[in-house]
Structure 1
Amino acid sequence: MKKNNFLLMTMSALTAVTLAACNEPAENAVNPADPDNQIEMNEEMDEEMGHGGMDHSSSGEVPEGLVEAENPTFPVGSQAIISADHMPGMDGAQATISGAYDTTVYALSFTPTSGGEPVENHKWVIHEELKNPGDAPLSPGDEAVIAADHMEGMDGATATIDSAETTTVYMVDFKTTDTDEDVTNHKWVTESELSAE
């Protein structure tokens, strides 16, 4: 009887150790609830969406010759809702306007100078962020050299214009809806991508 009890106790102990080991997280397991892993997963999503290396915030400096809008729909300091998905967590975010400028804005496609996959229909680059572009607006199909560094490999890349629009563009501050990341002086959001609260 004592022998059986000893065997049962030994087996119970081994079972408990085995179950505990099974419940231990693997050394390299990714815990999606961990905020650090959420940031990492969002960065991976950015890369999959063609926004890898994109600098969502900026210093707020604007290109020489860019003209401030005299009477923008959304004045500096006002708030608006973003309806654009240039990056995860942007669509639906509440933005504070940090700059408003009248210019021509382009969606364009280019191959990064740093290598990697071509970027299609990148939104947005303004006329003043092109190298010696001549008179605005350029037309779809035209080529131009980018003189902006919104993302890695952009500055100096030759781009094809996909679309052009003369409008007011805005620099905005907002908190992402998915990670609560603070984005400051984001370039650019067009007037049609903003709505009153």
Structure 2
Amino acid sequence: MKKQWAFKIFLFGFILLLAACGDTAEQLDKNDEQEGNVAEQEAPTREADEIEDSTGSVPLNLKIAENAAFPVGTKVKIFANHMEGMKGAEGVVVAVYDTTAYEISYRPTTGGEKVENYKWVIHEELDGASGAPMEPGRELVINADHIEGMDGATATIESADEGPVYVVDFTTTTGEEVKNYKWLVESELAASDESSQ
């Protein structure tokens, strides 16, 4: 009789142990799932010092845009025509910042013809920029090297677009992969068909 009670107590204890382990495993699975959801919600925003390509790095201390129309990770269609094969291309937003973008005209430091209506440089890329948005006609020195002859040139503000500004990875319509393209503004983008599905 004592052996039966001992066995029942042992069996009951063993069942409790298994139940506890099952709950723990289930809880761990739930925790992993929740962490995965948080990671998805917090899409990998690239810090300013990580955004570097052939057009240079992003100015430090830019404020990350929190309520952008196209958050990081959004697949977008591009309507801008800043370079060959850009218009109609599709890509993905890799960073979004709150700042003002400017359309400028300038004469390259390397000589040659004046560059008219270049889109875009941002507020932080203009030495002495203040009072965003700055008025058309104001002249400042460019502190960005998007293209040869730009850095150090004197720019004339043509127009302003009060943020946010986007950094986008995309493939041109001619098949060229472009990483960390700076800058695009909201009016130059739309959510791609893939994003809305």
Q: Which TM-score applies when normalising by structure 1?
A: 0.68
- Structure 1: give runs of 5+ residues left out of the alignment: 1-56
1:147 aligns with 2:143: yes
Instruction: Determine the C-alpha separation between the residues in 2 that align with 1:163 and 1:117.
Output: 20
Equivalent residue number for residue 108 of structure 2: 112
Which residue is equivalent to 1:132? 128
Give a deviation string over 1:136-186, Cα, whole Å, max 9, x none. Answer: 1110011011000000000000010000121211000001102x1110000
Deviation at 1:59, TM superposition (A): 7.2
Q: CA deviation at 1:58?
A: 4.1
CA–CA distance in 2 between the matches of 1:155 and 1:75?
30
Matching residue within 173, 179, 187 for 2:182: 187
Which residues of 2 match residues 1-197 of structure 1 at below 5 A?
57-58=53-54, 61-178=57-174, 180-197=175-192
- Identity level (%): 58
Corresponding pairs, count: 141
Which range moved further: 149-158 or 135-144? 135-144
1:60 and 1:173 map into 2 onto residues whose CA distance is 15
Give the residue type in structure 1 aligned to 2:99. T
Q: Secondary structure at the match of 2:124?
A: helix
Match of 1:46 in 2: none
Q: What CA distance in whole angstroms lies between the structure 2 residues aligned with 1:71 and 1:162?
A: 27
Matching residue of 1:10: none
* Larger Rg computed on CA atoms: 2
Measure, in 2, the Cα distance between the counterparts of 1:134 and 1:59: 24
Is contact 2:55-2:147 (8 Å) kept?
no
Aligned equivalent of 2:6: none
Q: Give the CA RMSD over aligned residues.
A: 1.6
SS across alignment from 1:192: helix
Conserved in 1, the CA contact under 8 Å of 2:96 and 2:166? yes
